């Protein structure tokens, strides 16, 4: 396989964007990525679109052809991929494979979701399609409830505290204050998190990621071509994907994200690194407990130690392993189909030294962990500065 580079990235603004349509958001991010790459959009060989459930959120499917048309590149191969909230990560892996295989030389990967055009009840139902619908959603179990069970299990098994969960939210909101594209620029305190509305015990409103409209995009090409012509590029050093049971009740340990662990092992083996070789990471913090479980499954700390690892400041911007410097899904926002691609955007900006006040000093290698549902699917990507 050919080695692959990311030569351009772009994002739309994220938030409750009433005046922007699904296609508007995608085209905004795609054109920003193409401009950043310094290439002509007409030179794009193929397009991959990550989106979880635009049919339920906006009534629109058939996104590959639609986005190619509105981007002005109709005629090229264009494919929409879905893996629940991991759709963006899978789109990036699909684009990577297309370049690595030699099928295409210039691939545009994008992720998009428009979530706020429906009521909260409709959005909850749409998102519940990422769970085992017949055994979980049909019986009234929502994602906050599923992650609340994970949190309660983690607290009972390992002694993880409510305050440690709150610290994840406080830290990620602090990082989002430095990210102009983030949905929320809201400073939190542990007390504020603990006093927010109870959603599903022990999780409160400020433990939960929001409904978000937004898009993100990246341009990929062969590494050798990037070296010859691109002004700024970052190497894709490793990438891995895995699955697990969708139903939480089918797992021997609900606190262990097996799909993330397997995907990370594959990505790290490909990149030739260990967890200690990762300088910073963007992880899928759809709920505060998700970040704690993710850093354990990635090998940044031992199982059960994620809460203490966070409390000791290791995951903070100046810590030994900065996590979610963008603000994460919690504060940057979580337009489910776009979140995985936005993680790539953050990695690229960090490695190019363009992350402003949230810059990780001396970073040479970053990791993105994107997962679907309660980690029924996961993609881990490792990018490095060469």
Which residues participate in catalysis according to the annotation? 85, 334
Mention every residue, 6+ apart, whose C-beta is less than 8 A from residue 382.
Answer: 236, 237, 238, 239, 267, 268, 270, 271, 273, 278, 365, 366, 367, 368
- Read off the tokens for 276: 């200690």
The structure tokens 């399609």 sit at 129
SS3 351: helix
Q: Are the CB atoms for 131 and 372 separated by under 8 Å?
A: no
Q: Which two tokens stand for residue 241?
A: 């994907």
C-beta neighbour count of 283 within 10 angstroms: 28
In angstroms, the CA 14 to CA 342 distance is 10
- Rounded CA-CA distance 84/117 in Å is 19
Helices vs strands, H then E, count in the chain? 14, 11
The C-alpha atoms of residue 88 and residue 159 are separated, in whole angstroms, by 33
Q: Count CA atoms within 13 Å of residue 295 on its CB side.
A: 29
Instruction: Tell me if 101 sits within 8 A of 220, measured CB to CB.
Output: no
Which residues, 6 or more positions from 12, have their beta carbon under 8 angstroms from its beta carbon? 20, 25, 26, 28, 29, 32, 181, 214, 215, 216
Element (H, E) at 106: none
Tokens of 375: 């980690």
DSSP secondary structure string for all residues of 191-230: HHHHHSPEEETTEEGGGBPPP-EEEEEEEEEEHHHHHHH-
Taking the C-alpha atoms of residue 376 and residue 254, their distance in angstroms, rounded to an integer, is 11
**Residue whose token pair is 């305050």:** 163
Single out the residue of 72, 77, 75 nearest to residue 109, CA to CA: 77
CA atoms within 13 A on the CB side of 77: 13
């Amino acid at each position: 396989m050919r080695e692959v580079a990311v030569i351009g990235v772009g994002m739309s603004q994220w938030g409750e964007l009433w005046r922007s349509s699904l296609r508007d958001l995608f085209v905004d991010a795609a054109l920003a990525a193409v401009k950043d790459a310094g290439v002509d959009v007409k030179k794009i060989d193929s397009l991959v679109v990550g989106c979880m459930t635009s049919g339920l959120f906006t009534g629109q499917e058939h996104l590959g052809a639609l986005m190619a048309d509105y981007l002005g590149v109709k005629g090229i191969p264009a494919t929409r991929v879905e893996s629940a909230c991991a759709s963006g990560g899978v789109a990036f892996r699909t684009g990577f494979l297309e370049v690595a295989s030699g099928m295409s030389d210039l691939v545009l990967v994008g992720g998009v979701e428009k979530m706020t055009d429906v009521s909260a009840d409709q959005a909850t139902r749409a998102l519940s399609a990422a769970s085992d619908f017949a055994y979980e959603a049909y019986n009234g179990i929502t994602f906050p409830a599923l992650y609340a069970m994970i949190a309660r299990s983690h607290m009972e098994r390992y002694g993880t505290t409510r305050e440690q969960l709150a610290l994840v939210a406080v830290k990620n909101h602090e990082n989002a204050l430095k990210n102009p594209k983030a949905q929320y620029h809201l400073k939190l305190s542990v007390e504020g998190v603990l006093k927010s509305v109870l959603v599903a015990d022990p999780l409160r409103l400020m433990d939960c990621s929001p409904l978000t409209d937004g898009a993100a995009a990246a341009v990929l090409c062969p590494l050798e071509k990037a070296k010859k012509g691109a002004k700024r590029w970052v190497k894709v050093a490793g990438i891995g994907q895995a699955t697990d049971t969708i139903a939480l009740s089918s797992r021997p340990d609900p606190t262990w994200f097996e799909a993330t662990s397997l995907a990370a092992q594959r990505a790290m083996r490909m990149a030739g690194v260990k967890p200690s070789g990762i300088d910073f990471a963007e992880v899928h913090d759809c709920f505060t407990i998700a970040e704690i479980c993710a850093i354990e499954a990635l090998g940044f700390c031992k199982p059960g130690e994620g809460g203490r690892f966070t409390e000791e400041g290791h995951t903070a911007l100046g810590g030994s392993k900065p996590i979610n410097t963008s603000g994460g899904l919690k504060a940057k926002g979580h337009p489910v189909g776009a979140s995985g691609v936005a993680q790539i955007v953050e990695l690229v900006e960090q490695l190019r030294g363009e992350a402003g006040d949230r810059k990780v000093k001396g970073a040479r290698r970053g990791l993105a962990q994107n997962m679907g549902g309660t980690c029924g699917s996961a993609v881990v990507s490792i990018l490095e500065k060469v």
